Structure 1
């Protein structure tokens, strides 16, 4: 699959270990919505073995901070 999209991602992908205030969030990738709005293309830097994968909408402050 060739990824030629030049638009910035709309979402950020994290792996979350733990619960509540003690949870540890690690950014592992980004997500772009499908043109039909029915799913996402993911680009991951790693694949977690433990924890849960969370996809969150990208906030403007995340882009400014280079996150």
Structure 2
């Protein structure tokens, strides 16, 4: 399989979202990159939630990413 990404930086983060009462808990579990031809995505998961969490993919906000880490 060839790597068809157009960038070394991911464009989206993958989160596992669980609920505790009215509070939602977001855990970053991976990243996603679009293929250069626009017909698919590569993703990397650091872990898989086994607790019934909802998987949510959100576009990365560059300003928020700069402060993370």
Larger Rg computed on CA atoms: 2
Runs of 4+ in 1 over 6 A off after TM superposition: none
Gaps of 5+ in 2: none
TM-score (norm 2): 0.75
Match of residue 39 from structure 2: 38
| Alpha-carbon displacement from aligned partner over 1:1-54 (angstroms, at most 9, x marks no partner) | 676x661000000000028x5111000111001222233211111011121110
The runs of 5 or more residues in structure 1 that have no matched partner are: none
- How many residue pairs are counted as aligned between the two chains? 67
The two structures have a TM-score, normalised by structure 1, of 0.77
